[in-house]
Chains A and B, each alone.
Chain A
Amino acid sequence: MKVKLRYYGKLVERIGKSDEILLVDDITVRELLSILEKKYPQLKQLSIKIAQNNRITNIDETITSSKIDVFPPFSGG
Chain B
Amino acid sequence: MKRYIRQITLSEIGQKGQLKLLNAKVLVVGAGGLGCPLLLYLSSAGVGTIGILDFDKVSLSNIQRQVLYKEKDIGCLKAEVAKSTLYEHNSEIKIESYPFALDKSNALEILKSYDIVVDSTDNFRTRYLINDACVKLNKPFVFAALYKFEGQLSVFNYQSGPTYRCLFPAPPIAGEVPSCEEDGVLGIVPGIIGMYQANEVIKIILSIGDILTGKLLSLNFLTNRQQIIHFDKNEKEIDSIKKGELSFIELNDCKFNP
Contact = CB atoms under 8 A, between A and B. Distances in A.
Contact of A54 (B123, B151, B179, B227): B227
Interface residues of B, number: 42
Contacts of B152: 71, 73-74
Nearest to A58: B232
Contacts of B228: 54
Given A75-B124, A75-B179, A54 B229 contact: yes
A4 to B, nearest CB: 14
Contact of B34 (A51, A54, A69, A77): A77
Contact of B146 (A55, A56, A72, A76): A76
B146 A73 contact: no
Range of interface residues on A (Cβ < 8 Å): 10 to 19
B124 A77 contact: no
Contacts of A56: 167, 216, 229-232
A42 to B, nearest CB: 11
A36 interface: no
Interface in B3-48: 30, 32-35
Given A46-B172, A47-B170, A77 B230 contact: no
B177 interface: yes
Nearest to B220: A8
A51 B231 CA distance: 9
Given A8-B150, A10-B147, A75 B122 contact: yes
B185 interface: yes
A49 interface: yes
Contact of A76 (B35, B176, B185, B229): B185
Given A54-B228, A56-B229, A74 B172 contact: no
A9 interface: yes
B253 interface: yes
A10 B173 CA distance: 14
B88 interface: no
Nearest to B145: A74
A55 B150 contact: no
A74 B177 CA distance: 7
Question: Taking each of B170, B176, B185, which has the highest tally of chain A beta carbons within 10 Å of its own beta carbon?
Answer: B176
Contact of B122 (A47, A69, A76): A76
Contacts of A69: 218, 227, 229
Interface of A: 8-10, 45-47, 49, 51, 54-56, 69, 71-77
Interface of B: 30, 32-35, 120-124, 127, 144-148, 150-152, 167-168, 170, 172-173, 176-180, 183, 185, 190, 216, 218, 227-232, 253-254
Given A9-B147, A74-B177, A76-B145, 12 more contacts: A9-B148, A45-B176, A54-B229, A54-B230, A69-B229, A71-B152, A75-B124, A75-B177, A75-B254, A76-B148, A77-B35, A77-B120
